[in-house]
Amino acid sequence: MKRATVRECNVLGEQFRLVTLSGDALRGVKWLPGQKLQVALGSWAYRTFTPLSWDAEQGSTQLLLFLHGEAPASAWGRALQVGNSCTLFGPRDSLDLSALDRPALVFGDETSFGLAHSMRFTPKGAAGVRMLFEVTSKQTARGILDQLGVADVDLVERRPDDAHLNEVEQLAVDQLQTRSIQSWVLSGKASSIQRVSKRLRSLGVARGRIRTRAYWAPGKVGLD
Ligand SMILES: Cc1cc2nc3c(=O)[nH]c(=O)nc-3n(C[C@H](O)[C@H](O)[C@H](O)COP(=O)(O)OP(=O)(O)OC[C@H]3O[C@@H](n4cnc5c(N)ncnc54)[C@H](O)[C@@H]3O)c2cc1C
């Protein structure tokens, strides 16, 4: 358990907050890209996020919060102000990005942008890593990713009844065939991960080449 203070809270449009947390307890921490950090929201509720980066010397980390609705973490993110304090658990293991063979593909959604950013801190860096995200608004997502400096991205806008997942699957298959993707990281919405994973498996991609981590699912609270 660590205490931290909100040092910066950048409002990136309606639905995103880029938050810098700092404190003595964050100094000297061994963080690996892809790990998770849990934030206590009060009343024994906590929610999980993916640090974009961690400065163990200064004692600070950054989170990108996607405010999807009126749920507790969204309300917390909207109300956050510089100087607020919070309680953190972690960082702890979630997705191991350290030994990903390149070329690699990271699939996810708005909740995976932090994960995408953290790729640059892996031993092999972000070179050779393609990103594929399902998003509510391509224009908004592109703006956020540009600000974060996340490149090599394909975006697919959500459509009713997950009709857009056909396009997501097709883009994943194109990447497999044209770039010989060696490792896959599937994150974000549980059912989308299942769809993409099933398609890859049907094309002969070995289970050991696919890493999955569901970040949320409709109707589930604080999925972790
Ligand atoms: C390992 C891990 C890492 C994560 N990293 C990040 C991160 O870096 N940034 C980030 O923003 N989120 C991240 N998430 C996802 C985040 O923890 C969930 O979205 C969480 O549910 C948000 O809490 P909440 O209080 O807003 O909603 P909850 O109270 O948990 O959920 C209420 C309802 O909201 C809906 N819901 C939840 N999440 C979403 C969503 N993203 N889009 C649409 N509807 C949703 C579901 O129907 C759910 O039943 C991560 C999750 C995990 C497990």
Domain coverage including residue 136: 104-216
One domain for residues 61 and 116: no
Note if the bond before 123 is cis, omega within 30 degrees.
no
Instruction: Please choose from 216, 220, 223 the residue to mutate so as to test ligand 1's pocket, defined by most ligand atoms within 8 A of CB.
Output: 216
One domain for residues 84 and 139: no
Cβ contact 99:63 at 8 Å: no
CATH code, 30: 2.40.30.10
One domain for residues 76 and 116: no
Q: Decide if 67 is inside a domain.
A: yes
- How many structural domains are present in the chain? 2
Cβ contact 188:216 at 8 Å: yes
Measured in angstroms, how far is the CA atom of residue 136 from the centroid of ligand 1?
Answer: 15
Q: Hey, how many other C-beta atoms are within 10 angstroms of the C-beta on 25? A: 15
- Give the residue from 31, 66, 92 where a domain finishes: 92
DSSP state of 129: E
Model pLDDT, residue 222: 82
One domain for residues 76 and 171: no
Q: Is there an atom of ligand 1 within 6 Å of 133 CB? A: no
Both structure tokens of 137: 């608004």
Q: How far apart are the first and last CA of the chain?
A: 17
Q: Decide if 97 is inside a domain.
A: no
Q: Is there an atom of ligand 1 within 6 Å of 219 CB? A: yes
Q: What is the pLDDT of residues 127-180, one digit of tens each?
A: 999 999 999 999 999 999 999 999 999 999 999 999 999 999 999 999 999 999
Residue 161, Cβ density class (10 Å: 0-12 exposed, 13-18 middle, ≥19 buried): exposed
Q: What is the pLDDT of residues 165-195, one digit of tens each?
A: 999 999 999 999 999 999 999 999 999 999 9
Average pLDDT over residues 104-126: 97
Model pLDDT, residue 53: 98
Which residue, by CA, sits nearest to atom 38 of ligand 1? 216
Model pLDDT, residue 44: 84
CATH code, 158: 3.40.50.80
